[in-house]
Structure 1
Amino acid sequence: MSPLKKMKNGAVALVACASLASIWNCGSDTQENETVGSAETATANVALRLSHVEVPLTDSLVVDCIGADTLHLSLGPKDSGFDLDLFPHEHWKFSAKLYANGALMQKGEIETRLDAGSVVDLSIPMHAVVGFVYVEIPLGFGNPAGIASGLLQVESANGSFEYPMQVEDGSAIFKSGMLPLGLEYTFRLSLADASGTNIYSMEQTFLLDENTPVPELQINSLRAKVSVSIGKAEDVEKEIPLTLPAGKRRPKAGDIVVSEFLVNPNKNDSALYEFVEIYNGSNDSLIIENCFVGKTSLERESAAIEPFVLSPRKATAIADTSAKVPAEFRHAAALPAFNKSNSSTGASIVFHCDGEILDSVYYGKVDSLHLSQVPFSTNSSTTKSPHLNIGAWDDRENPENWCLDAPTPGAATFCN
């Protein structure tokens, strides 16, 4: 699932305007503005913080700075911030807009005076102008719940609207259009299997206001009962549990995949280490016990993994207990001596539990038994590891669903 869908309501994002000549539109005739005279050439350093409710499906943050000059900054949802040097002026106006779900959702502005040489920390209070409903249901590898279709109905005094289910990155997604604030809404969610038989339905009423512009619902487990939480702004957080947490069990074939590995790190880089990353694609917490990672499925060519629990839709790296390995990844006393080249046969990684192979990756030489290989880097100066596209988990033998990029142990990321 993409980073846009994982934002948590109630957080305060820090966004700083910074001096980036490539993104500002400066006035061409600066002497007409009320700028500093020749004696005042120092600028003011300004950091802007946008105090807003973070929401899923954020498109961009747009900031206009108008005063001695005119700057227009467009910030992506992943941008961490900017610093900005501005000319002194009596009346600087900073306007900010947050776009989400394809529309303007929050806005705010502030005015201030900037003096030469000053360092100013400003906060723009943002206010929601509309809201929307967003529901995400993780389907898990193979969609064991059998969800084939679904419908979200949103009803208020202004009318009733319907939104069909979409499938994105292994999750069922429901998102409404933009909704006016200050109204009470009733939403009804229904899910059906391939034959059209209803397998789940729920109904909930809530008030959509400035503190809760996006009641984000996450359905964590589709068994006899369902766990749903509605996240609100930080100061009015509320949860509505409707039932049981996900189950906890031992893994079986189809639950776990090897999502990344690094077996030939650059020896001159003290921060790099060997690891095999595994990803839990099920909707359950998996008990990793009596499990091994090796060159083959033989225990003598494998490393025993210390028991632990892997949460649903999470990844972890299996590495040794050396000091440079983060504590959360020290799952094996020592890894086996994996082949460090793709020029030989037998260059494989096998993850197996209780005598059963749960997943394997081949990165060695193509031969009559292995018609394809995962891309593998042998560059001694630049370390890159193979990454699996989790969305193509069921076609992971296809080399096109792997790519090479900088190692990211414990984060199931695909290359840009």
Structure 2
Amino acid sequence: MRLPALLLCCACLSGQSFTQRGFFETRNYLYPQTTQGDSGRLVSEELLRWEPSWKPRPWIQINGGLDLRFDSHRQFERSWRLDWADRGQQRPAFGVRRLSVLLNKGGLTFEGGRQFIRWGKADLLNPTDRFAPKDFLNVINSDFLGVTAARITYERGSNTFDVVYQPVFTPSRGPLFGQRWVPLPEQIQNIPIRNLGADFPGRGQAGARWSHGARGFEYSLSLFDGYNHLPLLDLQAGLGVSVKRYFAQMRMYGGDFAMPLPWFTLKSEAAYFTSKTRTADEYALYVVQLERQTGEWTFVGGYAGEAVTNKRVQFDFAPDRGLAKTFLGRASYNLDANRTVSFEGALRQNGAGMYSKVEYTQAMGSHLRATANFTLLRGDTTDFLGQYRRNSNLQLILRYSF
């Protein structure tokens, strides 16, 4: 509760150096079908986000972000405590989204605290993006989570060096047991399931990235040593089934590449993952995509692939690997300054699963925006996308920005 008071005082002292923005959003999902264990067809989520920023000197900036949430489906906590870590299985009702200090001098930048760190150049899938856990309560509509880290970036000429140390582990948030985004195999649908929580890693993780811009193309190399923010699942059978999440040690060697060509921009990103955890796979993920803008149209399309070199996983939750061996695409068209229509989709190379979404967005004045979209999911129960085939939905979003 001290952050808002501090920043308001700063605003009084520093005048124009204090800025703020935010929005209130209501997001409503309508599901035509029910699922095993979840008879809900309408889910409503409300979010109030405030993002203040204070710049007392040209070389220093303090960034903040607070979220206030409520929902109809008990996916969010009902406790009004201030959450700093974002480690819970439910979204916090009142949480710190960002709180960091940014220092800049010449080509050197330091940021410490809760922040968002994104690596990679591809748009469809980012295998090298290891400091970017996500909220997968809704597997298809995910959002990034901030991490507590220290980051140093140094730019010199056409080279950029990025070093990150994250002392506190932030996991991705998976869907909740007993709700529609956890489809259960038929053989255990009537068996009681006990959630034993999670074992979090006790040490920090680190990474480094070097990127170089050459004439006509750019590329980067990256290294990460830490843990997978997506969990493995330890299942134990008894009178019911007990489930505990744990996180595999991971080392990643990766790179990305982008080259503008006359008709389109070629982008590629790849990473190889090794692990000392005996139940974790060792594998490579890669994506190749083409991007083109023509008039009011933007097109992005490509293929995401995977090569497993050591298969050891029994049970896991891995949406990044779930999109491997898949053709991915996205297209958007600006009807005018206030209206946009977009399409996106994914199709498994063997046809076992598919996902598609069509979305229409309209701005009404400078503050209000309405969005409607329909998501269709189909496929086999054994496919990552196909297992959510009963979760096709219509989504209505209304956002007021300030």
Category of TM-score, reference length = shorter chain: under 0.3
Which gives a bigger RCO, structure 1 or 2 (Cα 8 Å, sep 6+)?
Answer: 2
Bigger-Rg structure (1/2): 1
**TM-score, structure 1 as length reference:** 0.26
Higher strand share: 2
**TM-score, structure 2 as length reference:** 0.27
